Amino acid sequence: MTSIKEQPFLPIIIQSGQHAYGVARSFYAAYRVKSLVIEPAKKGRSMRSLFLGGSQGIATQNSGILDFQYVEHLDDPALFVQALVRVAMQCQQKKLILLVCDCYYAELIIENKKKLEKYFILPYIDQALLKMVQTKEKFYQLCDKYQLKYPKTIIITKEHHPNRDLPIQYPIIIKPSNAVTYTNCSFPEKKKIYLVHDAEEMEHIIRCIYRSSYQDTLIVQEFIPGDDSYIRVLDVYVGRDRKVKLMCVSNKLLEDPSPQNKGISLAVMTDYDEQLMESIRYFLEDIGYTGFANFDMKYDIRDGKYKLFEMNLRAGASSYYVTASGYNLMQYVVDDYLFQVHHERTYVQTKHVWSLLPPKTLFKYMKNEKLKIEAKQLKKDGQYTDALLYKEDMNIKRWIKLKLYHSYLQIKYSKYFNKSNG
């Protein structure tokens, strides 16, 4: 492994899954710097969590390109700032770049930005803009203003449920408008999104959700036909000057089929659509956006349009595909905030495959034969990246754990694939 270099900055990454590993890997590839990954301290860990290294995700365990630390009260909104300030006090000789891997922490940072920017570089929007994009409902209102397409949608509340005779044909999608609030609630039937086939099922799901602590609006939406290969993910970095610097689109090859993680990418391949990129660029620059943004959408073969699902105030969980394609996403932040390097706008066109799954599993379950042929050729050409197997960060313990994790993913995918295919 290449030696670590002393740098005037330190990346601090909240949460420890494969997204965090991708961020740390990007920083290491560009600067040979070890990131600090932090996770909320958990009390009363189970035997299973102890075996897996506490709440630390397997992606960041036994790694030489990052350090890891549990932080008391990191997940408590009332004590969040104090928890981060304590971390900052440990690293006073460095410029600290604070990065997050989910929207819960992104919103906490934005809401406390004035207090935190004394200690950290924060590539995030301000609270005024957060209020405009915080929920899917508000995001869709902006889509209407900027003529961005999204699926036919009905907004419902606890007090006002939709009639059985919907103006949308079944199957339909039900999902929370406020993903952050929904993440923090718990009930037996909980899924990330619900694919619903009739009115009775719809009413049951709505009752179950509103019996929980989640009381915000729900989205009832038409189902856009097509398998995972019709889904696109777009990742963006917008500079401090509020101009888009980097934009990259990926075509999902497979996503997590389990109910709790539906929508999470397991494999993607870079794609290119200049018209789509231009429409999103204009939207972001016009609302005064800064920092990372991530959009999920699906191509609708019925009218040839992309239908937006959501906008995330951070880089996507699979965003290392951008770095793997030759454009280091984290280098744009460092250049922007520390080195004052100006980047012209780039729309990535390099073809590359990024995958959490081993190739054998990926190619076994891909349904789109055209994309499968292209992905196999990219692998032969060396344009293929395993999300976690990194030759510059390998030791026997890490190798064994990642091979076991690959086996787990194979079993998991087979289980849910067989269920969904009858």
Percent of the chain surpassing pLDDT 70:
94
Quick one: which of 221, 236, 272 has its CA closest to 251? 272
Domain spans of the chain, in order of start: 9-122, 152-222, 228-420
pLDDT in tens, 182-215: 988 889 889 889 999 999 999 999 999 999 999 9
The class that CATH gives domain 152-222 is: alpha beta
Q: Which CATH number fits domain 228-420: 3.30.470.20, 3.20.20.370, 3.40.630.30, 3.40.50.300?
A: 3.30.470.20
Average pLDDT, the chain: 91
pLDDT in tens, 61-97: 999 999 999 999 999 999 999 999 999 999 988 999 9
pLDDT in tens, 100-129: 998 999 999 999 999 999 999 999 999 999
Here the tokens at position 84 are 């981060």
DSSP one-letter code for 338? I
The answer, yes or no, to whether residue 260 has pLDDT greater than 80, is no
CA dihedral sign, ordered 374, 377, 383, 387: positive
Is-contact 84 290, C-beta < 8 A?
A: no
DSSP H or E stretch at residue 250: strand 244-255
Q: Judging by DSSP bridges, how do beta strands 384-386 and 353-355 pair with one another?
A: parallel
Section 380-385 average pLDDT: 97
36 vs 27: CA distance, rounded Å: 11
Which CATH architecture describes the domain 9-122?
Answer: 3-Layer(aba) Sandwich (3.40)
295 vs 273: CA distance, rounded Å: 14
Q: Judging by DSSP bridges, how do beta strands 291-300 and 305-312 pair with one another?
A: antiparallel
The whole-number pLDDT of residue 43 equals 56
Question: Reading across the β-sheet that carries 218-222, which strands appear in turn?
Answer: 153-156, 218-222, 172-176, 194-196
The CA angle 115-121-126, to the nearest 5 degrees, is: 60
Mind giving me the DSSP string for 91-142? TTTSEEEEEESSHHHHHHHHHTHHHHTTTEE-----HHHHHHHSSHHHHHHH
pLDDT band at residue 408 under the 50/70/90 scheme: confident
Quick one: which of 353, 355, 358 has its CA closest to 411? 358
- pTM for the whole structure: 0.92
Q: How far is CA 69 from CA 14, 341, 347, in A?
A: 10, 31, 36
For tokens 């929980």, name the residue.
212
47-56, 180-189, 247-256: range with lowest mean pLDDT:
47-56
pLDDT in tens, 326-377: 999 999 999 999 999 999 999 999 999 999 999 999 999 999 999 999 999 9
